[in-house]
Amino acid sequence: MTRTKRPNVIVFFTDQQRWDTTGVHGNPLGLTPNFDRMAQAGTHLFHTSTCQPVCGPARACLQTGRYATDVGCYRNGIPLPQDARTLAHFFKAGGYDTGYIGKWHLADNASAGPVAPAARGGYDYWLASNLLEFTSDAYNMVMYDNDGQAVKLPGYRVDA
């Protein structure tokens, strides 16, 4: 049986980012060349809004397709319920392998260590921290892999 070739899907979650901070939206400073190139070559949504202005609740909405009040993550610091179906579950049902890289902000805020596997939203590959500001700084980027081992990334956080 041959697998049908499907497109790769990359979803970017950014926090408190104004619409005009990327080149693809008209910013002339050249701050986001990789993001701009990917947006121009793929599918990019230009006219969107969020029903949640705060990080954790906004991520809960984007991961689940549900309102933050419905999923229970209506403010920062409330973990995503472990039975919540996320993008990972839906993509896996479609035959995709899934991975999450970066800031999660949907687990327990009490720990600066690795996110427990059951709290990772069902992703197959993991290189993330719940709160990057608790595990790293601009030039000392630390995230955790599938096994919960710390991984230090080189250089400036945004470039890593």
User: Is residue 41 a contact partner of residue 69, using CB atoms and an 8 Å limit?
Assistant: no
Q: Give the confidence band of 79 by pLDDT, cuts at 50, 70, 90.
A: very high
Looking at beta carbons, which pairs linking 51-54 to residues 24 or more positions away fall under 8 Å?
53/16
Q: Which residue shows structure tokens 């619409």? A: 19
Question: Strand order in 125-129's β-sheet?
Answer: 99-103, 125-129, 141-144, 150-153
User: Is residue 7 a contact partner of residue 15, using CB atoms and an 8 Å limit?
Assistant: no
**pLDDT at residue number 2:** 55
Residue 136, token pair as written in the block? 């790293």
Percent of the chain past pLDDT 90, that is, above it, reads 60
pLDDT tens-digit profile of 41-74?
A: 988 887 887 888 889 999 999 999 999 999 999 9
Q: What element of type H or E holds 151?
A: strand 150-153
Residue 143, token pair as written in the block? 């995230």
Query: Is the predicted pLDDT of residue 90 greater than 90, yes or no?
Result: yes
**pLDDT at residue number 136:** 83
Q: Where are the domains of the chain?
A: 49-159
In sign, the C-alpha dihedral spanning 74, 75, 76, 78 is negative
Catalytic residues: 55, 105
User: Is residue 54 a contact partner of residue 64, using CB atoms and an 8 Å limit?
Assistant: no
- Stretch 27-39: mean pLDDT: 91
